[in-house]
Amino acid sequence: MKQPIFTGAGVAIVTPFESGGKINYPLFAKLIDFQIENGTDAVIVCGTTGESPTLGHTEHAELIRYCTQHVSGRVPVIAGTGSNDTAYCLKLSNEAEKSGVDGLLMVTPYYNKTSQQGLIEHFSYLADRVSTPIILYNVPSRTGLNIQPATYKALSAHPLINAAKEANGDVSALAQTAALCGDDLVLYSGNDDQIVPFMSLGAVGVISVLSNVIPKVTHDMAAACLAGDFAEGARLQLEYIDLCNDLFADVNPIPVKEALKLMGWNVGPCRLPLPAIGAGAAEKLVKALKNHGLV
């Protein structure tokens, strides 16, 4: 039986930038503290929400190191180290390990993609060469590649392939994966609008964009499910479903950074190619934030 790196709500934390484009480390520290003080169960750094595709190699390594040092063991830290280049993914992962991270989040290869057999070989190669538990990240809307339940089953045999962040939106496929893998693969929801449905099928938490904005609510939603109180989890899921959806009214992380700015966190813009939020998405987002008394 594999032990989860964390249970509950882990925040896929944004990367704040100064006006000149550099990483704003003092503000990043404050965001981390805000999350931990409000119940976040893990910090996921250099994920998609953290704009990892536009972080330079040195920035990537330094941001992971800074995050791990500032968290200082208060909650687990998981570093995004995925790449469509297996060798580069290994390099990022080995560097992250030197910082003392608790887990490695590896997205499936994108653009060049691969086959299901290629996924098995890619992740097995990496797992053989790291010493830190791996969370597989399946997000077909971004990568054009979907991990099949049978592929999860094959990968779950490796002792360091610990978990999957599943963001394909397919509850039936998650059920198949859970049935095939059992205790050999820990499952996390990768979609905030599916926390409760996924946890009802055995997921132990969520890697969350929503947590950036309302960490305590997201933690409480997951905690209710972990305690078997799915009625309370469902109540929170439905109460905040508008915010879950409107945080994706534009390309992530455009809306969540806009939301944080509206809430008083000067996290700066996204790096190109991500532009400022569109007018329609901004209108929806403001409405949802006002609906919950966040602005």
Residue ranges and CATH numbers for the domains of the chain are 8-229 (3.20.20.70)
**Positions of E strands within the chain:** 8-12, 42-45, 77-80, 103-107, 134-138, 161-166, 186-189, 205-208
The backbone region for 229, taken as left when phi is positive above 0, alpha when psi lies in -120 to 50, beta otherwise, is beta
**What integer pLDDT is reported at residue 75 of this predicted model?**
98
pLDDT single digits (tens) 23-70? 999 999 999 999 999 999 999 999 999 999 999 999 999 999 999 999
The CA-atom distances, in angstroms, between 228 and each of 214, 221, 222, 239 are: 22, 11, 10, 19
**What integer pLDDT is reported at residue 1 of this predicted model?**
83
User: Which two tokens mark 98?
Assistant: 């030197």
In whole angstroms, what is the distance from residue 57 CA to residue 72 CA? 23
CA diameter of the chain = 49
Give SS3 for 189: strand
- Confidence tier at 284 by pLDDT (50, 70, 90): very high
- Confidence tier at 169 by pLDDT (50, 70, 90): very high
**What integer pLDDT is reported at residue 160 of this predicted model?**
98
**What integer pLDDT is reported at residue 205 of this predicted model?**
98
Active site residue 165: yes
Mean pLDDT of the chain: 98
Q: Check 2, 91, 137, 287 and give the catalytic one.
A: 137
Q: Check 66, 110, 165, 284 and give the catalytic one.
A: 165
Residue 226 — φ and ψ, nearest 5°? -60, -30
Planar angle of CA 80, 107, 5, nearest 5 degrees: 55
The CA-atom distances, in angstroms, between 128 and each of 123, 156, 159, 184, 275 are: 9, 13, 9, 17, 39
Full-prediction pTM beyond 0.85? Answer: yes
Active site residue 137: yes
Other Cβ atoms closer than 10 A to 115: 10
Q: Which has the closest alpha carbon to 35: 45, 43, 23, 27? A: 43
**What integer pLDDT is reported at residue 86 of this predicted model?**
98
The CA-atom distances, in angstroms, between 261 and each of 75, 80, 93, 100, 255 are: 25, 24, 31, 31, 10
**What integer pLDDT is reported at residue 191 of this predicted model?**
98
In whole angstroms, what is the distance from residue 231 CA to residue 191 CA? 19
DSSP 14: -
DSSP 239: H
> Which residues, 6 or more positions from 180, have their beta carbon under 8 angstroms from its beta carbon?
149, 150, 152, 153
In whole angstroms, what is the distance from residue 217 CA to residue 38 CA? 9
24 neighbors 16 (Cβ within 8 angstroms): yes
pLDDT single digits (tens) 80-112? 999 999 999 999 999 999 999 999 999 999 999
